A and B are shown apart, each in its own frame.
Chain A
């Protein structure tokens, strides 16, 4: 039992990331009907927002402290971040320590801008083109974005630690009534799960309870009629693209402590997220979220040693295997709607 719960927990953080990316992908599918292969790159850009902010916060000036000596006997150079001198020692340090969560605030406008530019500058011209063209042009865009990031940040993964308050692990089993030291789980992964749950709930609430969301849902169901009613649906869909980009970006920001960001992390996640979307059902938001968590958890179960002993290599292919089975038995995916991307 405890092993099962541990595996479910292990699957949650990956599942959350899949769910968030797949949610954005589905938003774009559902609204604009565009297959966006650059969505993984948006996730990556989000992660690098966190890196950028951390670097900005750590910009320091150098003072020479005559009273201390380094190992060569020269006066020690002390680097003091500007933030510390502006906001005082304790608050400044805390700010730097919390750079990852703060980066969320920083990333939202950045990602909205990136998403808006992408949609207006490129994707707009591809609504009427075949899906193959959309896939190819966004695939090219993903490569370009990746290379730009590589130029500025290098090819190596960059460590971005979580705030020290969230470092380490907690004994999660005790909360559920198990013996101590049975289910130990890193705190940040729980934070990530809670965060993604909030974001997902937020997106759904936005679509469900606001007038804007209502119009968008109506547009997803029947774009033409909404247009005929005199609503500028294109503008709203552009904003939804920005929102999807922001969701992917925030997913990336929060993922940095779990996986040190490098320039190709987006591509690694993209293929899997696509599979997630297809399993969940194209154009179905709940389907994307459910499939994201489902596949994340299945993957963590498949990497248990007991399972691997029976079916070697299953952890590598489980997601694809599930996708193949689902597509062949339930062609529209788990919660796919009729008439969406049927061709």
Chain B
């Protein structure tokens, strides 16, 4: 189907079903139960799942296939957000032109940055992309304030021209369908929210996912893998890897721009902090956590990180006390104190630990973890893949 082989079609269909049913699947607990805070099925969070999924899928096309670790991908996300908000300011709240422009601008940026950065490889490439991203971040905060609105962040004001607005709504919409319009269904104790915004993002994510599969299976994708495997040899066969690399870089930059545009479409705001290098680090983590170079990995990783971020940072000491109230008093205090260090404000500590643990114990990410478990039922050769040889 769609030019995919059987296995990929099955994967795509499974992902599609999971994405479309996410508002139901991610709400396993009744709304008023104590476990309701583990529900992830509310629009804001689900949108972030799929948007960062797109970001990570795009990043994986570069990092997973070619092995070039970019530490500045957040710059494209930021650029995409800014261009989308500018479209809202100038034209109307319709998201279509905003998303198109954000993809195009991010692509143009990626051509320039990629053209320069790709002249070096390895750690130098990482530092070059990092330098470009930090430059964009610093400029967005200082000199480019007329375009980016500096520290306040770019947003739409009531006196903006919005030439095409007419009688259109005052919130982001897709030809009249408001992003925030919500269909709430209550069944017994459960509440399920279906929003236009989430489904638009989900459809776009599925299209991006489909394109990524096609890229992975195409001769172009094979060429990118060849670059990762042995670039020197590729040179000797008379093929210049540069155009392929640049194409991969631009494609992944456009994915990031798309994600940025979608972020702005869900909430018409853009701030420079989206470009900071920690944001670039986050997408690297998502990809690694899920599984570098796998199709499903980045989406899983993005969902996992965003879910953990949201859940961990929401829990506070009161919640912990209610959980551990069955323990004897002194012990309860100790346990709550211990856990409180890792949740709420301490979420970053958990993130850092997760970073380390994943890289140390599970370099292949969740996908590899799943495969290992699957394999453990067959035979026991777990150690074969536990150490990745140096490149």
Interface residues of A (CB under 8 A from B): 35, 122, 125, 128-133, 135-137, 139-144, 146-148, 151, 267, 271, 274-275, 278, 282, 312-313, 316-317, 320-321, 323-324, 327-328, 331, 341-343
- Residue from A146, A267, A274, A321 having most chain B Cβ neighbours under 10 A: A274
Beyond A129-B363, A137-B360, A144-B353, whether A151 also contacts B346 by CB under 8 A is: yes
Q: Are B135 and A321 in contact (CB-based, < 8 A)?
A: yes
Chain A binding surface SS class: helix
The 4 closest A-B pairs by CB, nearest first: A140-B355, A313-B143, A143-B352, A316-B138
Which chain B residues border A321 with CB–CB below 8 Å? 135
Pick out which of these stretches binds chain A: B96-104, B113-121, B197-205, B372-380. B113-121
Which chain B residues border A137 with CB–CB below 8 Å? 355-356, 359-360
What is the distance, in angstroms, from A307's C-beta to the closest C-beta of chain B? Answer: 13
Among B135, B348, B391, contact of A130 (Cβ-Cβ < 8 Å): B391
> Does B130 reach chain A (CB closer than 8 Å)?
yes
Which chain A residues border B351 with CB–CB below 8 Å? 140, 143
> Does B240 reach chain A (CB closer than 8 Å)?
no
Q: Are B388 and A147 in contact (CB-based, < 8 A)?
A: no
> Does B229 reach chain A (CB closer than 8 Å)?
no
Which chain B residues border A122 with CB–CB below 8 Å? 356, 360
Inter-chain pairs besides A275-B127, A316-B138, A327-B128, 18 sampled, C-beta below 8 Å: A35-B123, A128-B387, A130-B390, A132-B69, A133-B388, A135-B71, A136-B284, A137-B360, A141-B352, A144-B356, A267-B278, A313-B142, A320-B131, A320-B135, A328-B116, A331-B124, A341-B122, A343-B391
Chain B, Cβ-Cβ closest to A155: B345
Q: Are A313 and B144 in contact (CB-based, < 8 A)?
A: yes
What is the distance, in angstroms, from B69's C-beta to the closest C-beta of chain A? Answer: 5
What is the distance, in angstroms, from A115's C-beta to the closest C-beta of chain B? Answer: 17
How many angstroms between the C-alpha atoms of A133 and B362 in the bound complex?
Answer: 11
Q: Are B391 and A147 in contact (CB-based, < 8 A)?
A: no
Which chain B residues border A143 with CB–CB below 8 Å? 348-349, 351-352, 355
Which chain B residues border A328 with CB–CB below 8 Å? 116, 119-120
Interface digits, B50-89 against A, CB 8 Å rule (1 contact, 0 not)? 0000000000000100000101000000000000000000
Q: Are A343 and B121 in contact (CB-based, < 8 A)?
A: yes
Chain A, Cβ-Cβ closest to B139: A313
> Does B134 reach chain A (CB closer than 8 Å)?
yes
- Residue from B116, B120, B131, B285 having most chain A Cβ neighbours under 10 A: B131
How many angstroms between the C-alpha atoms of A209 and B278 in the bound complex?
Answer: 41
Which chain A residues border B389 with CB–CB below 8 Å? 128
How many angstroms between the C-alpha atoms of A331 and B118 in the bound complex?
Answer: 12
> Does B225 reach chain A (CB closer than 8 Å)?
no
Which chain A residues border B161 with CB–CB below 8 Å? none
Which chain B residues border A343 with CB–CB below 8 Å? 121-122, 391
What is the distance, in angstroms, from A332's C-beta to the closest C-beta of chain B? Answer: 9
Chain A, Cβ-Cβ closest to B342: A147
Chain B, Cβ-Cβ closest to A267: B278
Chain B, Cβ-Cβ closest to A314: B143
Beyond A137-B360, A140-B356, whether A271 also contacts B120 by CB under 8 A is: no
What is the distance, in angstroms, from B72's C-beta to the closest C-beta of chain A? Answer: 10
Which chain A residues border B341 with CB–CB below 8 Å? 151
Which chain A residues border B128 with CB–CB below 8 Å? 323-324, 327
Chain B, Cβ-Cβ closest to A33: B390
How many angstroms between the C-alpha atoms of A147 and B346 in the bound complex?
Answer: 7
